[in-house]
Structure 1
Amino acid sequence: MTDWNLPWEGGCRCDRVRIRVSAPPVFTAACHCTGCQKMSSSAFSLTVAVPPEGFAVIAGETVIGGMHGDLQHHFCAWCMSWMFTRADMMPFVNVRPTMLDKPQWFVPFIETMTSEKLAWATTPAVQSYERFPPMEDFAALVGAFNAWAPGAA
């Protein structure tokens, strides 16, 4: 996919925090870990991984929530929407796709932590991992995602 129709903008539920994505995604995913289940109050969390230089908070401010550790989960301070996650160990920002103004294109390419998934939870993900993909698999996964990508137009 080469035409992602960028930039994308989005906001939290109350729209006090606004974000912009200006670089194509690295991959899309659904995470079934129990931490994401609790953070999202759902069966899994969704992610659009974007390069850090292609992501910006353009209005408002976020607060850190979740475990307050290596993963920095950013929330709107007013409505408490979980908007994105940063971590020094990740070369991308995990943006919650439902925060985008037009998330209809989103489909998870990878699903992770299926060893912790709820028995009834299914996704259309092409790649599935019981834990997280090994770091040495990421280059191939990114290439496969680019060949598969559903597009954002």
Structure 2
Amino acid sequence: MSGLKLPQEGGCRCGRVRFKITAEPLLTMACHCTGCQRMTASAYSLSAAVPSAGFAVIEGEPVIGGLHGEPRHYFCPHCMSWLFTRLEGFDWFVNVRATMLDDPSGFTPYVETWTSEKLPWATTPAVHSFEALPPLEQYEDLTRQYAQWSKAR
């Protein structure tokens, strides 16, 4: 992927929680749901689905925040920066907030979700758009397409 150098570190605003990614993302996304809008105080959240084996918290102890249910959103306990999300039953990846990386410039969203809730002026360069989440059976094809797309950039 153009501009993506691994390993790469990231962390919260205050620096008390740091993490590292050592694996290429499976998929990059922009989520337009109202929950992400409220948690980011922005039009959408940006994330990169990173294989769990390629993700590690290297400093500090993140806490669960957001709605405290599923999915599990992890935050810095001090500055409350939203760092990553884990989904129960999908332990093979971590959804890292791409903008929390020290250099998020290589994480262009490939997919945008929840466009049914997006603000009318919000746009992304995403290749695929979905009114909600993509159907589960499409993820394998989307990750394959993303791998080809990211290598061609």
Superposition TM-score, scaled by structure 1 size: 0.93
Q: Which amino acid aligns with 1:116?
A: E
Tell me the residue number matched to 1:70.
70
1:74 and 1:150 map into 2 onto residues whose CA distance is: 30
Q: Which amino acid aligns with 1:101?
A: D
Tell me the residue number matched to 1:95.
96
Unaligned runs of 5+ in 1: none
Q: Which amino acid aligns with 1:65?
A: G
For these two proteins, the number of residue pairs brought into alignment is 152
TM-superposed CA distance for 1:22, in Å, is: 1.1
RMSD after superposition = 1.9
Give yes or no for contact 1:114–1:128 (8 Å, CA) kept in 2: yes
1:87 and 1:75 map into 2 onto residues whose CA distance is: 15
Give yes or no for contact 1:112–1:130 (8 Å, CA) kept in 2: yes
SS for the counterpart of 2:105 is coil
Tell me the residue number matched to 1:114.
115
Tell me the residue number matched to 2:132.
131
SS for the counterpart of 2:79 is coil
TM-superposed CA distance for 1:89, in Å, is: 3.2
Tell me the residue number matched to 1:28.
28
Tell me the residue number matched to 1:50.
50
- Deviations, residues 35-70 of structure 1 (Å, cap 9, x unaligned): 111111111111011011111100001111111112
Inter-CA distance 80–146: structure 2 relative to 1 (3 Å threshold): same
Give yes or no for contact 1:48–1:94 (8 Å, CA) kept in 2: yes
Tell me the residue number matched to 1:11.
11
2:107 and 2:4 map into 1 onto residues whose CA distance is: 12
1:56 and 1:68 map into 2 onto residues whose CA distance is: 21
Q: Which amino acid aligns with 1:81?
A: S
1:110 and 1:15 map into 2 onto residues whose CA distance is: 29
Q: Which amino acid aligns with 1:53?
A: A
Unaligned runs of 5+ in 2: none
1:107 and 1:28 map into 2 onto residues whose CA distance is: 7
Give yes or no for contact 2:2–2:151 (8 Å, CA) kept in 1: no
SS for the counterpart of 1:149 is helix
SS for the counterpart of 2:104 is coil
Query: Post-superposition, which runs of at least 4 consecutive aligned residues in structure 1 deviate over 4 A?
Result: 1-4
Query: What percentage of residue pairs aligned between the two structures are identical?
Result: 57
Give yes or no for contact 1:109–1:124 (8 Å, CA) kept in 2: yes
1:68 and 1:134 map into 2 onto residues whose CA distance is: 25
1:115 and 1:131 map into 2 onto residues whose CA distance is: 7
Q: Which amino acid aligns with 1:123?
A: T
SS for the counterpart of 2:9 is strand
The answer as to 2:81 corresponding to 1:81 is yes
